[in-house]
Structure 1
Amino acid sequence: MSLNTHTLKKTLAVAIMTTCILGGIQEQTQAAILNQEQSETGVFKFFKKKNKKADKEDAKVTDEKKSTLKKYDDVITSDAVSQKGVIDIHRVKKDYFFELDKSLLGRDFLLVNKISKVPTEINELGFNKGINYQNLLIKFELDTILKKVWVKTYKAAYSSKKGDAITKSFEDNYISSIRESFDLSCLGKDSTSYVFKVNKVFDGSEKSLNDLFGILGMPGSAVSTLSKIDEVKSFPENAIVKSLLTTKAEGITVSIEVTSNIVLLNEKPMKPRFADRRVGFFSTKHFYFNDDQQALENRELVNRWRLEPKKEDVERYLAGELVEPQKQIVYYIDPSTPKQWRQTIKDGINDWQIAFEQAGFKNAIIAKDAPINDPDFDGDDVRYSMVTYAASSQANAMGPSVVDPRSGEIIEADIIWWHNVMTALQSWIRIQTGAIDPKARANKFENEHMAHAIRFVSSHEVGHTLGLMHNMGASYAYPVDSLRSKTYTDRMGGTAPSIMDYARFNYVAQPEDGVENITPQIGVYDIFAIGWAYKWNNKNTPWDELNDQSAMIRKHETDPLYHYGPQQDGKNTIDPSAQSEDLGDNSMQASRYGLKNLKRIVPQVENWTYEEGQDYEKAGKMMMGIIGQWFTYANHVVTNIGGVYLDHPVYGEQKAAYAHVEKAKQKDAIKYLIDEVIDIPAWLTKADVYNKTYPIKESPIGDIEYAPTTLFRDLHARIFYSLLQKERLLRMLENEAVNGNKAYTVANMLDDLHQGIFKKTIKGYKLNVYDRQSQKNYIDALIITQNKAMEKTTKKALHSDCSCSLHHHMPVLCDYSVRSVGMFEDEKADGGDSRNFNRNLVYATMNRVSDAVSMKRGELMKIRSLLKKRLTINDQATRYHYTDLVLRIEEALNMK
């Protein structure tokens, strides 16, 4: 494909953020009314006259201006096709005009740009119908002197207390910026509205209010001669313009249909609720100024729907009775959704009812089929929250929402459901539960069995649209052996106390355990979190409710079922209690159970994937999935080494912010790696299915078969570089500095690795191909990471890792990729722990003076000494291997 795939995928992370757009305009016929407008609108208040003479002069100027405008009927002619709504929209032949009532000048609008239709090239990259790629908060202002309507944008993240002295300075230092302007065409018929032509911002001529291709990372802009406005609609609180935008990039032409929503926001924003790092919600930053401060107040506003009791139900609600909210949260199911999955997706939505009952509301969230013949219904309209079904080869799902940046209020949500997500679910279920569940072994599941997984994905994505972030720490609350208990899993439900974890399916349970409840479900944490965020109160400000909100959390502060563990950076996972894809409270124990089931599955691969007359492609892909699961277990274990349990204590709690993983656990982690990973097991390297097919990895360029030696050499290298990464060793040194002999030290780890990797060498045995690969990989990792640490520190290096975090504005793109693909990619994060203990930047100047360098050099010298003693071994391949390694070490250490 000629488009830059990497760039497009990378920019999708920044694509779905909050913003808004423009409106319409109307006229006035009386000079006095026009003069009043310019004095009432903030931008023109400086031109207000102070005496009668000045007023007369101003009226004269306005009369002159008025006389230059066309008459309404000359602009909006008899050819006009008009739409009445919050903004009246008129189409006169090929021109489009907005008519905006004067009462809407200065009001906040949200411009929401969404993708509506895409060509193949864009579809293949995961950009599909329903994706919200740009939002802008805007206001319309009238300039009577220049005869223009300005479209201004501003950041809602700052506010100042009314009446305070600092507020004047705030107004001077946080002005709005002009993003676009429109020439005033005429005044409205009744002199209370303004009319202006808007073609240029919707037909591809300008990108001020719709930078589609720039945001998607595609070179070039829309070609106006190949772009057009397709359709306009206007409703009481929302106007829609649909456009077909075309660009030419790198030899191909791409056309995308987009929908621009212009949403009138409530004049009074929702009362915010301040976020708390102990509960995982997406949030919107806000900074408060006032005269009483000694420091600017920085808050995060919880992203949540506006759920309030009806006025007549307030007393009943406050008395603890369940009531229906003023406005329900309604999700519409795309008519394109296959019929057999519609009710299942609805069930996943309706499952959240129990959580909202914790917040005091009944029937707060419902699912409906989207109306088919309603001309006012449009899935791209932000009045409607949609589960959009995308015909695509992508195997994923996503749950973004549109947020009012003034308050954190969620005003609309879009769940993007890629059709091919079922291939990932089928692969996971078969590999993780096939050993214990006969229904999970077929190439195609019965609909009822697939429905369980679809329901889980539906609930998970809806959770994101309710504001919930991933809670990767939830699964740590369940003891590993409890996951083997039918009684426990039936009582607790699924695999973790939160469906927002990536606790997929129960790979711990063994065939003899009889466990049946193996699919993630909405759990204790989810119910609590919704109650915490959505419980309504009649207090005036978010400050007034802080104590009550904190008390709700403190009530469960020692209960692991209520713990929140943020998703971490996949390149530097620190906390083993908050990992993606893991189960239970001990990675080594859970992974050993998982391996037992994988060993049972490998001999069955050919039988389970058999299709008469077909080749062995499915078998090769399943084998790659099994290897991916094996490698996932290995990564879970690695995190324990140099791991730190992270928490967010507040004053009064008896929690530690940082607690190093126990020495015994870290030592067991190294033992697991040596036994099950570094010594690559024969059940993986010598599987019978390799006589028919090698492991097959799916990729954007097609399926790729990997010879086992090549595949495991690559995976080994990843493990070794991860173990020896600078950040991990620095955390281990910190542990040693704090805990002394109670710590698992760098020296301990290198000694244990040495004894495992070179055990055959120590005993004088000859090595096989995998043994030699393993030793080369380890020594290369030692040499390269040691040399990198000794590179001269430059100013550039000091700042190269310093990047602004955009996590709070990222789309919630869940990773449902099949592990045969995912194990070759960096894990995705939806927020991460912003502290990220021992990051590169913090320790960038410590490389050359760190003990880690000394330890690596010492280990290389130790290996060299051992190998020199074995250079006389009879086996030629082993002898040449040792000679090569000795030369590599001596060259790396500059030894003569």
Structure 2
Amino acid sequence: MHKSSIRTLVVALFLLGGYTLSASAQIDTLKTKPKEVEKKQEPKKEEKKKEEKPEKEEKKKKEETPYTKFFKDKKVESARGKFVSLHKIDGEVFLELPTKYLGQELMMGATITSTTDPDYLAVGSKNSAPFVFRLEKQDSVIVMKAPNTLVYRRDASRQLQQALELNYRDPVVMSFTPKVYTADSSAVVLSLNSLVTESNPFFEIIPKEQGPFKLSSSRNGNLTFIRGLKAFDTNASVKVEMNFSVTASLMGVLTVAKDMPLTAEVTYTILPVKPSQAIPRLADARVGYETSRKVSFPDYLDQSEPVYLAHRWCLIPKDKKAYAKGVLVEPEKKITFYLDNTFPATWAKAVREGVLRWNKAFEAAGFRNVIEVRDFPRDKNFDPDNLEYSTIRYIPNSQETVSGASWFDPRTGEIFNASLLIYNNVENLIHKQRFIATAAIDPAVRSSRLPEDRFLESLSALVTQEVGKTLGLLNNYAASTAYSTANLRSAKFTSEYGLAPSIMDGEFYNYVAQPSDKGVRLINNVLGEYDRYAIEWGYRYFPEEEGDPAREAKRLVEFVNKKVANPIYRYAPRQTYSVDPTVRTEDLGDDHLMSSTLGMKNLAIIRSQLGQWIQNDPDSRKKKAMYLTVVQQYYLYLKNAMSLVGGVVTREARLSTGLPRYQVVPKAKQREAFQWILAEAKRFQSYADRSLERKLPMDVSYFDQLLEFINNDILNLRARIIIASQVDKNSYSLGEYFDDLYKAIFASTIAGTAPNHMERFMQRNFIDKAVVGATNARQATPNMPYGFTSGPMTMDMLRLSASAPTDFSTLLSRGRLSYGGGDPSANIYPMANVPALDTSDQYFYAALVKIRPILEQRASSTTDRELRAHYQTLAFKVKKLLDDKK
């Protein structure tokens, strides 16, 4: 088509559409329109990027939360588990706790993982009880509350429970400021540093005492480092390295280390407290169990009363029907100990045997295979310092012992964790004890080291005793006097019954057996009747009582009532002051005089052969240590006999049983014992082996060093005699004691013969005590009884009278308990206001008047210069006092 024709057509079209354009513009429009449309549909790349950037930033802002910001641009080490997660950021530990656990009970414990000095801090030890708490949101903070366990609430009515909630609230012990919540608020992040890296009242890392050492410590907070985090399905742990400055003293007297640096790694474990099926067992003071004291407000009484919960593991039969029929069944959950893989190879079997020995006792309670011992698993997730595991640890340090400990829920008494620490040098302790007790009859132990079979046998027995403590049992030092001394020399009797009815007694070895007693048992390494009886009391399951502790307690009281008349079932708590001669840590047999005499015969044999039996000892170090043990054993036998003088055999008795609470040792036996003691004291130095002593590195003979102790022990018997006289007016009296003491001390002087060194020592000490006593008596207020000084009572006076009314029968009504279990924490032994009742001064004075002319005569007549000086000194002291008193 011609160009002019095209223009005409275009103009016509625009005119129809109402537009006016010049011809050239119209042509240009047709040429450029497609390109302009394309530009509008497809913007430039730069413009497209500008449009997309704000969208990405907006999306990124939406994804970022306070939780992610908290961890942003930080070096984070995390451990995530199904229970909780842990994070470490710049030396600070954070707990990410699901909010579902707010208000639920949690538990945290601290275990020593490694140390630079095991003498002061043992690996595997827990030096404070695991801490139970709840975390609750309060305003903008999270508070930590500890359960108030003062009250026993199980038998409280709903109305009483409301009153208890108001008066015994759970205390708030700490607070945490939440660092951040997760985006969905399902978890909160808290700093744990106040619990794991800073000092706090909940976890004691360095104990106040460790073995023979008393410790004080200060912590260097700048040298505390987080070493590791772990999180599992049911718990999580933090390992922390801490540094301390420690001062240690031996028995609180001799400083052995001052400001010593000590580094320790501590594992803190946190875990939820699982719902417990444990039924509290109300304690009976006549059966030896660890207990927790609570206050109860029963609805049927008009006053509160104390309640004592026995500590025990929760054992429930797997098959309750079979159990009810008397079939031995396994528990739903066993007591499992994990055995350290660092033990010397030969020790493990003996340790395992010592632990599993208790399974026989559990059969009395209707259970089988209650305890199991497993080796440390090779699983990398196993951590022996985790609170979920009960362990048996090997500690290579200088201590000579085995120690057991357990941890319990104070509300129910349920034991949930235990540990056993076996120290490397326990071999030294066992060697000394077994050698001194049995070397006279057992040739196998006559060496500088026990043969392996004897050592392992003893180790196993010691482990059994300590495991008993982890089951809740207390030592029963009354058990060893249940068998007669004569029966302990019988092979038939000892093979059947052992040396005592309880392995929880303190004496393991038969020191009364003589070389002529063939085949007699020498070690108490079997469970006795008391052990089986105590386990039955503590672990018998009573489904028919429907979990009611009070109903169970009534059945158990009847169970004990039927047993206590038999001495093999007797339990007595440890004494603070020695009153009862049958409750001693290292005695054996029912006749202390006979047992001590037989023990001394064996010691004479051992002492005479010590140099030949202890070989491979070039520096005499071993002979010196064993010779000291011989001397200590002589002294122990003397002390055992002394316990008869003024002795009162005591029972935690019930009126319904008809058993007496107190039985004073017969007067004739007391006097026989005192005469024996005085004779042994005067010849005590004759037991020394002077020839051997000259070969040993010692300054003063151990026998000579003990003279003062023995003499003071003899004079201090007066306190027991006074107490026994209050219980029984026909007991060995203070006047009879002084008559016998005077005759023994001055026998040689009265007879005109020269007293030996010990007699002179005893004479000097007696005169000095008499002078002091008579002087005090002269200064006493005239209207007061002789021997009772004027002025306020001192603490020494009060401590012996605090739990002892003059009328001892009133003690029977002490501890009003509805279930009849008694008070396990009470002192059952008779006490008296000894200073107020002591009339020793008048007997001392009478003795001075009697001895004065004899001393003056001997001072003028003796030709021995040293003895004359001795008598002159004594006569001068007596004359001065008596003449001044006129």
**1:739 to 2:729 alignment:** yes
Quote how far apart the aligned CAs of 1:237 are: 3.7
**1:277 to 2:285 alignment:** yes
Quote how far apart the aligned CAs of 1:475 are: 0.8
Please, which of 75, 79, 89 is the counterpart of residue 70 of structure 2?
75
Please, which of 699, 714, 721 is the counterpart of residue 720 of structure 1?
714
**1:751 to 2:755 alignment:** no
Check the 8 A contact 1:489/1:517 in 2, yes or no: yes
State the partner residue of 1:449.
Answer: 454
Cα 1:781/1:272, change in 2 over 3 Å: farther
Tell me the distance in 1 between the aligned counterparts of 2:192 and 2:708: 56
| 2:320 counterpart letter in structure 1 | V
Cα 1:666/1:802, change in 2 over 3 Å: closer
Q: Secondary structure of the residue that 2:178 maps to in structure 1?
A: strand
* 1:618-697 correspondence to structure 2 within 5 Å: 618-680=622-684, 682=686, 684-693=687-696
Cα 1:107/1:856, change in 2 over 3 Å: farther
Check the 8 A contact 1:484/1:509 in 2, yes or no: yes
Q: Matched residues, percent identical?
A: 27
* 1:197-276 correspondence to structure 2 within 5 Å: 197-204=191-198, 206-213=199-206, 221-248=218-245, 251-268=259-276, 270-276=278-284
Cα 1:357/1:797, change in 2 over 3 Å: closer
Quote how far apart the aligned CAs of 1:783 are: 5.1
Check the 8 A contact 2:489/2:520 in 1, yes or no: no
State the partner residue of 1:565.
Answer: 572
Kindly provide the CA deviation profile for residues 821-849 of structure 1, in whole angstroms up to 9, marking residues without a partner as x.
Answer: xxxxxxxxxx997426454xx52xx6255
State the partner residue of 1:152.
Answer: 145
Kindly provide the CA deviation profile for residues 593-625 of structure 1, in whole angstroms up to 9, marking residues without a partner as x.
Answer: 10111111111010011227x022222221111
Cα 1:80/1:389, change in 2 over 3 Å: closer
Check the 8 A contact 2:79/2:229 in 1, yes or no: no
Quote how far apart the aligned CAs of 1:555 are: 2.5
Quote how far apart the aligned CAs of 1:282 are: 0.7
Quote how far apart the aligned CAs of 1:74 are: 2.2
Q: Which runs of no fewer than 5 residues in structure 2 stay unpaired?
A: 1-61, 247-257, 777-786, 804-822
Please, which of 96, 99, 107 is the counterpart of residue 99 of structure 1?
96
Tell me the distance in 1 between the aligned counterparts of 2:100 and 2:669: 66
Q: Secondary structure of the residue that 1:623 maps to in structure 2?
A: helix
State the partner residue of 2:592.
Answer: 587
Check the 8 A contact 2:607/2:689 in 1, yes or no: no
Tell me the distance in 2 between the aligned counterparts of 1:113 and 1:379: 12
Quote how far apart the aligned CAs of 1:149 are: 1.4
Kindly provide the CA deviation profile for residues 41-77 of structure 1, in whole angstroms up to 9, marking residues without a partner as x.
Answer: xxxxxxxxxxxxxxxxxxxxxxxxxx9x972222355
Check the 8 A contact 2:130/2:407 in 1, yes or no: no
| 1:739 counterpart letter in structure 2 | K
State the partner residue of 1:362.
Answer: 368
| 2:693 counterpart letter in structure 1 | Y
Cα 1:556/1:450, change in 2 over 3 Å: same
Tell me the distance in 1 between the aligned counterparts of 2:294 and 2:266: 30
Cα 1:213/1:883, change in 2 over 3 Å: same
State the partner residue of 1:340.
Answer: 346
Cα 1:332/1:714, change in 2 over 3 Å: farther
Moved more, 471-480 or 293-302: 293-302
Kindly provide the CA deviation profile for residues 790-817 of structure 1, in whole angstroms up to 9, marking residues without a partner as x.
Answer: 6654366378749999xxxxxxxxxxxx
Cα 1:81/1:783, change in 2 over 3 Å: farther
Please, which of 714, 722, 731 is the counterpart of residue 730 of structure 1?
722
Kindly provide the CA deviation profile for residues 768-800 of structure 1, in whole angstroms up to 9, marking residues without a partner as x.
Answer: 323312322344455567778766543663787
| 1:233 counterpart letter in structure 2 | K
**1:185 to 2:185 alignment:** no
State the partner residue of 1:43.
Answer: none
Tell me the distance in 2 between the aligned counterparts of 1:301 and 1:422: 36
Kindly provide the CA deviation profile for residues 226-245 of structure 1, in whole angstroms up to 9, marking residues without a partner as x.
Answer: 11222232334433222222
State the partner residue of 2:817.
Answer: none
* 1:117-132 correspondence to structure 2 within 5 Å: 117-120=114-117, 123-125=118-120, 127-132=121-126
Q: Secondary structure of the residue that 2:161 maps to in structure 1?
A: helix
Check the 8 A contact 2:725/2:732 in 1, yes or no: no
| 2:311 counterpart letter in structure 1 | N
Cα 1:364/1:153, change in 2 over 3 Å: same
Quote how far apart the aligned CAs of 1:852 are: 3.4
Cα 1:859/1:679, change in 2 over 3 Å: farther
Check the 8 A contact 1:567/1:833 in 2, yes or no: no
Cα 1:604/1:784, change in 2 over 3 Å: farther
Bigger relative contact order, structure 1 or 2 (CA pairs below 8 A, ≥6 apart) = 1
State the partner residue of 1:527.
Answer: 532
Quote how far apart the aligned CAs of 1:855 are: 3.0
Quote how far apart the aligned CAs of 1:686 are: 4.2
Tell me which structure has the larger Cα radius of gyration: 2
State the partner residue of 1:883.
Answer: 872
State the partner residue of 2:36.
Answer: none
Tell me the distance in 2 between the aligned counterparts of 1:772 and 1:759: 11
Check the 8 A contact 2:628/2:702 in 1, yes or no: no
Q: Work out the number of aligned pairs and report it.
A: 772
Tell me the distance in 1 between the aligned counterparts of 2:483 and 2:311: 29
| 1:650 counterpart letter in structure 2 | R
Cα 1:201/1:389, change in 2 over 3 Å: same
Quote how far apart the aligned CAs of 1:292 are: 3.0
| 1:731 counterpart letter in structure 2 | I
State the partner residue of 1:431.
Answer: 436
Quote how far apart the aligned CAs of 1:406 are: 1.2
Tell me the distance in 1 between the aligned counterparts of 2:222 and 2:801: 39
Kindly provide the CA deviation profile for residues 577-597 of structure 1, in whole angstroms up to 9, marking residues without a partner as x.
Answer: 111100000111100010111
Quote how far apart the aligned CAs of 1:89 are: 1.7
Cα 1:144/1:410, change in 2 over 3 Å: closer
Check the 8 A contact 1:720/1:781 in 2, yes or no: no
4+ residue segments displaced more than 6 Å:
785-789, 802-805
TM-score w.r.t. length of structure 2: 0.82
Tell me the distance in 2 between the aligned counterparts of 1:75 and 1:600: 78
Cα 1:645/1:546, change in 2 over 3 Å: same
Quote how far apart the aligned CAs of 1:80 are: 4.3
Tell me the distance in 2 between the aligned counterparts of 1:119 and 1:801: 42
* 1:259-408 correspondence to structure 2 within 5 Å: 259-268=267-276, 270-310=278-318, 313-371=319-377, 373-408=378-413
Cα 1:404/1:619, change in 2 over 3 Å: same
Quote how far apart the aligned CAs of 1:460 are: 0.5
Cα 1:485/1:252, change in 2 over 3 Å: closer
Check the 8 A contact 1:490/1:517 in 2, yes or no: yes
Tell me the distance in 2 between the aligned counterparts of 1:648 and 1:170: 32
Check the 8 A contact 2:788/2:837 in 1, yes or no: no
| 1:552 counterpart letter in structure 2 | F
